[in-house]
Amino acid sequence: MMQQTADALRDFTARYCQHWQQHYGHAPASADLPGVPSPCAIEERGDCVLWQPQPFSLPPSLEAVERALDIQLQPSITAFYTSQFAGDMQARYAQRKLTLLQVWSEEDFLRLQENLIGHLVMKRRLKLPPTLFIATTDSEEEIISLSNLSGEVILEQPGRKNVEFLAQNIEIFLKHLQPFMGGSADNAL
């Protein structure tokens, strides 16, 4: 499952980068990351940084999260966050706009693990099933997560019990994602 997840993520990332190149004539751009060191950064243009995905250079493990909570994580979440360094990517899943979260650098990977721990601690305190976020949505009240129990991708409202099923697993979710540029400031270079 880890290899299929990594392959599906790389495939979506390649489609995302190709979409940028076809529509804007350059690599993906982010207005959130200029000046932030990363192996992905290839050029700064104004208030944006152009980036390309790079191989993940750390051991492919989320053991720090597992140890902190004495929990075993779905292998696909490890593959999702340890396959590459990349910028966050805007996409559509069905009609839902989302931002697929990615690891920008080694330092960002440490922050990600701390955030995953915090998220799982909150879920535990509220006596809710463990989930691991993989994307944000336009709504501040909804995130897209992986159920650590079933491996399904779900839409959830942190702190609430209700969830909406999106896909059987991350691989299927990634295969159905479509790159989406929207009208963000990142496009205007």
Nearest of 103, 83, 88, 90 to residue 38 by alpha carbon: 103
Look at residue 159 in the predicted model and tell me its pLDDT: 85
Give the relative orientation of helices 106-125 and 75-82 as an angle to the nearest 10 degrees: 150
Token output for 78 = 């490890």
Sign for the CA dihedral angle at 172, 8, 52, 27 comes to negative
Nearest C-alpha neighbor of 189 from the set 13, 31, 15: 31
Task: Identify any residues that bridge with 45 across adjacent strands, giving them in sequence order.
Answer: 48
Q: Which helix (H) or strand (E) holds 64?
A: helix 63-69
Query: Would you say the pTM of this structure is higher than 0.85?
Result: yes
Q: Residues 119-171: pLDDT tens digits?
A: 999 999 999 999 999 999 999 899 999 999 999 999 999 889 989 999 999 99
* Amino acid occupying residue 174: L
Q: pLDDT class for 13, splitting at 50, 70, 90? A: very high
Strands 84-85 and 54-55 come out as: antiparallel
| Mean pLDDT on 98-119 | 97
**In angstroms, rounded to a whole number, what is the distance separating the alpha carbons of residues 183 and 54?**
26
Domains of the chain: 2-180 (3.40.1580.20)
CA distance 188 to 65: 38
For residue 185, what pLDDT is reported?
A: 42
| pLDDT value at residue 186 | 45
Greater confidence (103 vs 161) lies with 103
Residue 183, pLDDT above cutoff 60: no
108 pLDDT above the threshold of 60: yes
